[in-house]
Structure 1
Amino acid sequence: MTRYLLVVPPFVGHINPLSAVAAELVERGHQVAWAGDPDMLARLLPEGSTVFPVWCPVPERPADVRGFAAWKFLWEHTLIPLAQAMLPGVLAAIEQWEPGALVVDQQALAGVLAAHRTGLPWATSATTSSEIADPLAAMPAVSRWVTGLLTELRLRFGDPMADHDLRFSPHLVLAFTTEALAGQAAVSAPVRFVGPSRRAATPVDFPWDRLDHRPLVFVSVGTLNADSGAGFLAGCVTALRERPDLQAVVVDPGGTLDAVPDHVLVRREVPQTDVLDRAAVVVCHAGHNTVCEALDRAVPLVVAPIRDDQPVIADQVVRAGAGVRLRFAHARAAQIGSAIDNVLSDDSYRTAAKRIQESFARAGGARAAAVSLEALG
Structure 2
Amino acid sequence: MTRFLLVMPPLTGHVNPAAGIAAELTARGHDVAWTGTESVLRPLLGPGPRVLGTGTRAFRAQGGHGLAALRSLWEGFIVPYARFTLKPLDTAVREYRPDVLLVDQHTPAGALVAHRHGLPWASFAPGAMELDRPHRALPQVEAWMTGLLRGLWERAKLPGAEYLDPRFSPALVLATTGPALTGTVSPAHHAPVGPVIAARPHDPQFPWERLRPGRRRVLVTMGTLAGGLGADFLARAVRALELCGEDVQAVFAAPRELLPGLPAHAVAVDRAPVLELMGRGELDAVLCHGGMNTVGEALAHGLPLVTAPIRHDQPFVAARVAATGAGLRVPFARVGPERLAQALLTVLGTTGHRDNAVQVGRDLLAGGGAVAAADRLEALA
**Under a length normalisation based on structure 1, what TM-score does the superposition of the two structures give?**
0.93
For 1:348, give the aligned amino acid: G
Distance 2:37 2:151 in 1: 25
Report the alpha carbon displacement of residue 20 of structure 1 after superposing the two structures with TM. 1.2
Distance 1:274 1:51 in 2: 25
For 2:73, give the aligned amino acid: L
Report the alpha carbon displacement of residue 292 of structure 1 after superposing the two structures with TM. 1.1
Aligned to 1:85: 84
For 1:194, give the aligned amino acid: V
Aligned to 1:336: 340
Aligned to 1:250: 252
Report the alpha carbon displacement of residue 329 of structure 1 after superposing the two structures with TM. 1.1
Q: Does 1:374 align with 2:375?
A: no
Post-superposition CA distance 1:79-114 (Å, at most 9, x none): 122212211111111111111111111111111101
Query: Map of 1:1-377 to 2, 5 A cutoff?
Result: 1-55=1-55, 57-61=57-61, 63=63, 65-157=64-156, 158-184=158-184, 190-201=189-200, 202-210=202-210, 211-242=212-243, 243-276=245-278, 277-377=281-381
Post-superposition CA distance 1:216-266 (Å, at most 9, x none): 111111244353222222222222222223222122325222443344223
Post-superposition CA distance 1:46-68 (Å, at most 9, x none): 323222111354522265x2221
Moved more, 50-59 or 233-242: 50-59
C-alpha distance 48-146 of structure 1, shift in aligned 2 (>3 A) = same
Post-superposition CA distance 1:5-42 (Å, at most 9, x none): 11111222211111111111111111011111122222
Post-superposition CA distance 1:337-375 (Å, at most 9, x none): 111122223433222211121123321111111111000
Distance 1:16 1:111 in 2: 18
Distance 1:192 1:42 in 2: 28
For 1:152, give the aligned amino acid: G
For 1:4, give the aligned amino acid: F
Report the alpha carbon displacement of residue 44 of structure 1 after superposing the two structures with TM. 1.7
Unaligned runs of 5+ in 2: none
Q: Residue 125 of structure 1: SS of its match in structure 2?
A: strand
Moved more, 129-138 or 14-23: 129-138
Distance 1:140 1:254 in 2: 43
Report if aligned partners of 1:246, 1:263 keep a CA contact under 8 Å in 2. Answer: no
Q: Residue 195 of structure 1: SS of its match in structure 2?
A: coil
Distance 2:209 2:48 in 1: 34
Report if aligned partners of 1:83, 1:109 keep a CA contact under 8 Å in 2. Answer: yes
For 2:336, give the aligned amino acid: R
Distance 1:49 1:247 in 2: 36
Post-superposition CA distance 1:178-222 (Å, at most 9, x none): 111122257x67110111111334414233233211211111112
Report if aligned partners of 1:133, 1:183 keep a CA contact under 8 Å in 2. Answer: no
Unaligned runs of 5+ in 1: none
Distance 1:319 1:56 in 2: 40
Q: Residue 161 of structure 1: SS of its match in structure 2?
A: helix
C-alpha distance 170-223 of structure 1, shift in aligned 2 (>3 A) = closer
Report the alpha carbon displacement of residue 135 of structure 1 after superposing the two structures with TM. 1.8
C-alpha distance 153-62 of structure 1, shift in aligned 2 (>3 A) = closer
Report if aligned partners of 1:204, 1:270 keep a CA contact under 8 Å in 2. Answer: no
Give the number of aligned pairs. 375
Report if aligned partners of 1:168, 1:189 keep a CA contact under 8 Å in 2. Answer: no
**Under a length normalisation based on structure 2, what TM-score does the superposition of the two structures give?**
0.92
Q: CA RMSD in A?
A: 2.0
Q: Residue 119 of structure 2: SS of its match in structure 1?
A: coil
Distance 1:215 1:255 in 2: 25
C-alpha distance 27-94 of structure 1, shift in aligned 2 (>3 A) = same
Q: Residue 137 of structure 1: SS of its match in structure 2?
A: coil
For 1:73, give the aligned amino acid: S
Q: Residue 356 of structure 1: SS of its match in structure 2?
A: helix
Percent identity at matched positions? 41
